[in-house]
């Protein structure tokens, strides 16, 4: 187990991958620690510290209620991580299922599924999520589900084209001749062969999920106050932009670097292939 | 003497150790001459030709010696001055007519591009001249071909187009880098025939690069045999084929399949 | 644009291409029909009676029944879909639940704002990314290549709305180049209107530019190795002439697809950006309608964007065939 991990890391030991890995790990640690500990209580208000500038005690400064921005950024990163994770999970699992069946069997079903899929794919995921939210209301659960559904088409598209390529290859044909059931061929033989492509698209999925979640929470959809979310912090910060620009800067930078980390990971993984 | 190559040496520097691909190559090309440059792949014949055409990358490569054309050393000529000669005095046709033409540009624009770059002509004059040259390379229906895209033509037609586009400025030197290798045998004969007639009619000197000795023996006046970046033998084509002095040349000539079609 | 029109016209005159575009348009129409059905069905299955929610506290069983009949809610599902669809094609998207005005008049007024914003952003993206992408390709594998790549990748990671906030602070509050929140309606002054929209347009365009540059750089590098580039050099072209006359057109082929899809993305991005710059555009309408559960409006906006998506697919196809003659030859009939 350990050996195989080491091997994987050696394979991906390139500049982009390491760069992305470091950034992503930093955010991951911040998110995990943020579950148990933040320097200050994220909802505790302190009128004396209203809009105070970054200082030793509050390294990112305080917001308009005098709450510690660093602690709230930590909580926001945690929430973004959580939502992105389940978004990508739903999107990739459903996408693999649809893409695999569509690509492996082909035919009429494939044509119909892909026609719908292509339009959904061209539809921006934020909009698609907004449609679902307009049906079921906002809130963390609905937003996660909505984004997850909105991400299915892009995964289905990639997986389908990979399955189409693989289905005609020799090893699939011989597995079939050996009497392997379709389910086994689809989910064991082929899936293990397209894993590198899949991992790379999962990273791009994370990249897009963070961006989409930030956009939605900026619009006030998703994580509800008083809990912190990076997007909502940005929208609140806008009213105090002149007084305390750092309030907008730090949550914004957190989003930028989180996205950069994932995109570099994706870049590194596809460079290693 | 039209072109003189003196002690040409080309080294690659893109690996850890520099690699010499052409070493101390000297020869000359006269007006109206067809000079064959023959050798196996990796012998440095194409490198030599590309150096004369000025198409070798400037970086990762060290070139020494001289290539004298009209009292100018092509190796040290500033890029801007070199461009004045390219496509005007020195033209090139390549091995792969399939890929040597731009797939998204009409044939006409590619044929007349050298005119656009080197002559001050109106669009209509350029078109007339291009169609004249397309006819000169025996393409029927030159007007239609002028409007076509490369993928609509056959391999032989494309190579004819390449010749037309190379000859449109009446260059003094035509470098033909394995111009027939990618073509069918019958088409090959037609293209060779066309090159020979172009040489006679327009007096252009041709540097003909090939690994095909029987072809070289038929078309060239003089020949240079290269091996591993060196010249092993040079001289009059008929003399060399009648009495090769070098062992390598002897081996090459002995390997020509003896099929007499007479 | 004129060239595209001529191209379409010329293409339609030829029978074989006529067939192709005929089939293409037919399939796009079918796609739109499927979307419209999905949209209609989605808003049908949600719980809640629109008549009830429209009447609110004034609801009595008789009034609900009367309103249901008036809104056509008593008819079967497929009949209602058919009626709705035919009305939509005629440009009538129904009446807003919350404002009791025709949806079309609510949207029509906002449409120019979103369209202008989209056109501005897309133009900036295309104009800026082409020379920069070629430049980055030209200097590929040099010392600053990696730094350029990371810079580009970082810009790609900045959400447009964060850029908007940064611009508001830097150019609005600190440098006073524009007045934050000082939106000028196109009815008042076209110049003021475009002048205000230019900043949000740049904010939307920058991440899209970075993506285009990345794609173009890769495409140019791939093309630069091809034989026709050497041929072009052999005719005496300079590097810039080779790039712009020969390589660019070939390298644009993958980019056209990206730009086609970016249009819908830019519209989605403008919904968020409108909030940043306080622009009363389509995004504002969509967001209020979502929170008010004003379904006819939401349906209309989605349908409109679906039409844009489908139209862009067609435009991409036409451009694609303009650029790459090989595609034209291969799809006869």
pLDDT at C333 over 50: no
In B, minimum Cα distance to C250 occurs at B104
pLDDT at C12: 54
In C, minimum Cα distance to B85 occurs at C236
pLDDT digits (tens, 9 = 90+) for B43-74: 888 888 888 888 887 777 888 888 988 888 88
State mean pLDDT over B198-215.
Answer: 87
Q: Which fold has domain A15-33+67-271?
A: MetI-like fold (1.10.3720)
Q: Which of B86-95, C42-51, C138-147 has the highest mean pLDDT?
A: B86-95
Question: Given the DSSP bridges, would you call strands B61-69 and B34-38 parallel, antiparallel or unpaired?
Answer: unpaired
Within 8 A of B46 by CB-CB distance, chain C residues are none
The secondary structure of chain A, three-state, reads CHHHHHHHHHHCCCHHHHHHHHHHHHHHHHHHHHHHCCCCCCCCCCHHHCCCCCCCCCCCCECCCCCEHHHHHHHHHHHHHHHHHHHHHHHHHHHHHHHHHHHHHCHHHHHHHHHHHHHHHHCCHHHHHHHHHHHHCCCHHHHHHHHHHHHHHHHHHHHHHHHHHHHCCHHHHHHHHCCCCHHHHHHHHHHHHCHHHHHHHHHHHHHHHHHHHHHHHHCCCCCCCCCCCHHHHHHHHHHHCCCCCHHHHHHHHHHHHHHHHHHHHHHHHHHHC
pLDDT at B262 over 70: no
Residue with the bigger pLDDT between B121 and C10: it is B121
- C235 lies within 8 A of chain B by CB: yes
Are A234 and A251 in contact by the 8 Å Cβ rule? The answer is yes
Are B87 and C236 in contact by the 8 Å Cβ rule? The answer is yes
- C10 lies within 8 A of chain B by CB: no
Cβ within 8 Å of A, C 213-272: 261, 264-265, 267-269, 271-272
Q: Which of A69-83, C18-32, C308-322 has the highest mean pLDDT?
A: A69-83
The secondary structure of B16-38, three-state, reads CCCEEEEEEEEEEECCCCEEEEE
pLDDT at C222 over 60: yes
Q: Looking at the partner chain, which of A135, A241, A256 has a beta carbon nearest the beta carbon of C168?
A: A241
pLDDT at A127: 83
Confidence of residue C331 (pLDDT cuts 50, 70, 90): very low
For the beta sheet containing B34-38, the strands, ordered from the edge strand earlier in sequence to the opposite edge, are B90-93, B173-177, B205-210, B34-38, B222-227, B230-236
pLDDT at A1: 61
In C, minimum Cα distance to B50 occurs at C234
Give the Å distances, CA to CA, from B163 to B21, B157, C137: 28, 10, 31
Helices (H), C178-281: 190-224, 227-234, 239-241, 248-277
Taking an 8 Å cut-off on Cβ atoms, the answer to whether A124 and C293 are in contact is: no
In C, minimum Cα distance to A118 occurs at C31
pLDDT at C229: 92
Taking an 8 Å cut-off on Cβ atoms, the answer to whether A119 and C309 are in contact is: yes
pLDDT at C1: 44
Instruction: Provide the token pair at A214.
Output: 């930030």
In this prediction, the answer to ipTM > 0.85 reads yes
Taking an 8 Å cut-off on Cβ atoms, the answer to whether C228 and B102 are in contact is: yes
- C157 lies within 8 A of chain A by CB: yes
What is the SS3 assignment for C281? coil
Rg, C-alpha atoms of chain C:
24
pLDDT digits (tens, 9 = 90+) for C110-132: 888 999 999 999 999 999 999 99
Cβ within 8 Å of A, C 267-296: 267-269, 271-272, 275-276, 286-287, 289-290, 293, 295
Q: How far is A42 from chain C (nearest CA, A)?
A: 23
State mean pLDDT over B106-125.
Answer: 90
pLDDT at A38 over 50: yes
Instruction: Provide the token pair at A102.
Output: 């569509």
Q: Where are the domains positioned within chain A?
A: 15-33+67-271
From the number of C-beta atoms within 10 Å of its C-beta (0-12, 13-18, 19+), residue C100 rates as exposed
Within 8 A of C227 by CB-CB distance, chain B residues are 94, 96, 99-100
State mean pLDDT over A230-254.
Answer: 88
Phi-psi region of B190 (alpha: psi -120 to 50; beta: other; left: phi over 0): alpha
Ranges A247-256, B222-231, C35-44: which has the least confidence: C35-44
pLDDT at C118: 92
- C329 lies within 8 A of chain B by CB: yes
Q: What average pLDDT does the structure give for chain A?
A: 84
H/E run at residue C295: helix C295-323
Give the Å distances, CA to CA, from B259 to A104, B214, B262: 54, 10, 9
Q: Distance (Å, rounded) from C-alpha A43 to C-alpha B234?
A: 90
Query: Taking the model in full, what pTM does it have?
Result: 0.85
pLDDT at A185 over 90: no
State mean pLDDT over A31-38.
Answer: 84
Q: Distance (Å, rounded) from C-alpha A248 to C-alpha C162?
A: 8
Nearest one of A136, A151, A254 to A209, comparing CA atoms: A151
């Amino acid at each position: 187990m350990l050996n195989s991990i080491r091997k994987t890391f050696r394979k991906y030991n390139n500049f982009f991958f390491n760069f992305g890995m470091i950034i992503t790990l930093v955010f991951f640690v911040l998110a995990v620690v943020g579950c148990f500990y933040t320097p200050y209580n994220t909802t505790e208000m302190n009128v004396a510290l209203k809009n105070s500038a970054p200082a030793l005690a509050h390294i990112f400064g305080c917001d308009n209620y005098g709450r510690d921005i660093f602690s709230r950024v930590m909580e926001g990163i945690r929430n973004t991580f959580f939502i992105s994770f389940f978004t990508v999970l739903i999107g990739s699992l459903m996408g693999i299922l649809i893409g695999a069946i569509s690509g492996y069997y082909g035919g009429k079903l494939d044509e119909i599924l892909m026609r719908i899929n292509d339009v959904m794919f061209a539809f921006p995921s934020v909009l698609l999520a907004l449609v679902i939210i307009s049906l079921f209301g906002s809130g963390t659960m609905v937003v996660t589900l909505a984004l997850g559904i909105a991400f299915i088409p892009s995964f289905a598209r990639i997986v389908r084209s990979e399955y189409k390529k693989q289905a005609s290859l020799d090893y699939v044909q011989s597995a079939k001749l050996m009497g392997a059931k379709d389910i086994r061929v689809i989910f064991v033989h082929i899936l293990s062969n397209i894993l590198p492509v899949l991992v790379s698209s999962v990273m791009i999925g994370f990249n897009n999920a963070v961006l989409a979640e930030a956009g939605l929470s900026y619009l006030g959809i998703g994580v509800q106050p008083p809990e912190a979310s990076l997007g909502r912090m940005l929208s609140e910060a806008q009213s105090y932009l002149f007084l305390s620009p750092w309030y907008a800067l730090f949550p914004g930078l957190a989003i930028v670097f989180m996205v950069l980390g994932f995109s570099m990971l994706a870049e590194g993984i596809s460079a290693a292939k | 003497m039209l072109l003189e190559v003196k002690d040409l040496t080309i080294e690659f520097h893109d690996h850890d150790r520099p690699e010499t691909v052409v070493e101390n190559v000297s020869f000359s090309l006269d007006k109206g001459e067809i000079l064959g440059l023959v050798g196996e792949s990796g012998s440095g014949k194409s490198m030599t030709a590309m150096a004369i055409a000025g198409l070798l990358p400037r970086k990762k490569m060290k070139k020494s010696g001289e290539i004298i054309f009209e009292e100018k050393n092509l190796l040290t000529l500033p890029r801007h001055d070199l461009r004045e000669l390219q496509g005007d005095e020195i033209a090139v046709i390549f091995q792969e007519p399939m890929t040597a033409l731009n797939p998204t540009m009409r044939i006409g624009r590619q044929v007349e591009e050298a005119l656009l770059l080197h002559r001050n002509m109106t669009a209509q004059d350029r078109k007339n001249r291009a169609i004249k040259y397309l006819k000169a390379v025996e393409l029927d229906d030159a007007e239609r071909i002028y409007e076509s895209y490369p993928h609509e033509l056959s391999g032989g037609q494309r190579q004819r187009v390449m010749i037309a586009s190379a000859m449109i400025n009446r260059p003094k030197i035509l470098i033909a880098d394995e111009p027939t290798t990618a073509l069918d045998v019958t088409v090959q004969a037609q293209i060779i025939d066309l090159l020979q007639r172009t040489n006679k009619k327009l007096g252009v000197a041709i540097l003909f690069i090939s690994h095909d000795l029987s072809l070289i023996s038929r078309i060239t006046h003089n020949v240079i045999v290269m091996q591993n970046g060196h010249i092993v033998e040079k001289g009059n084509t008929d003399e060399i084929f009648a009495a090769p002095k070098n062992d390598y040349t002897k081996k090459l000539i002995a390997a020509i399949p003896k099929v007499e079609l007479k | 644009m004129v060239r595209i029109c001529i191209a379409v016209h010329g293409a339609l005159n030829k029978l074989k291409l006529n067939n192709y575009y005929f089939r293409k348009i037919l399939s796009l129409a079918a796609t739109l029909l499927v979307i419209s059905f999905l949209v209609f069905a989605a808003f049908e299955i949600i719980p809640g009676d629109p008549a009830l929610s429209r009447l609110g506290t004034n609801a009595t069983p008789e009034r609900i029944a009367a309103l249901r009949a008036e809104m056509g809610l008593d008819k079967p599902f497929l009949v209602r879909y058919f009626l709705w669809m035919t009305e939509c094609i005629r440009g009538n998207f129904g009446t807003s639940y919350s404002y009791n005005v025709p949806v079309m008049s609510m949207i029509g007024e906002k449409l120019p704002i979103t369209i202008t914003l989209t056109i501005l952003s897309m133009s900036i993206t295309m104009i800026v990314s082409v020379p920069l992408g070629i430049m980055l390709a030209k200097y590929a594998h040099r010392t600053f290549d990696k730094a350029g790549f990371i810079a580009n990748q970082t810009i790609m990671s900045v959400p447009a709305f964060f850029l908007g906030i940064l611009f508001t602070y830097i150019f609005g509050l600190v440098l006073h180049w524009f007045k934050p929140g000082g939106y000028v309606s196109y009815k008042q002054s076209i110049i003021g209107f475009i002048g205000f929209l230019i900043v949000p347009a740049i904010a939307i365009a920058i991440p899209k530019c970075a993506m285009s540059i990345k794609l173009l750089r890769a495409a140019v590098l791939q093309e630069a190795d091809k034989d026709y580039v050497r041929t072009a050099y052999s005719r005496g072209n300079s590097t810039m002439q080779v790039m712009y006359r020969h390589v660019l057109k070939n390298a644009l082929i993958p980019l056209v697809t990206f730009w086609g899809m970016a249009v819908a993305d830019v519209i989605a991005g403008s919904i968020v950006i409108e909030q940043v710059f306080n622009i009363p555009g389509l995004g504002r309408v969509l967001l209020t309608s979502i929170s008010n559960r004003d379904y006819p409006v939401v349906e209309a906006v989605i349908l409109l964007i679906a039409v844009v998506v489908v139209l862009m697919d067609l435009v991409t196809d036409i451009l694609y065939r303009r650029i790459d003659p090989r595609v034209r030859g291969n799809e006869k009939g």
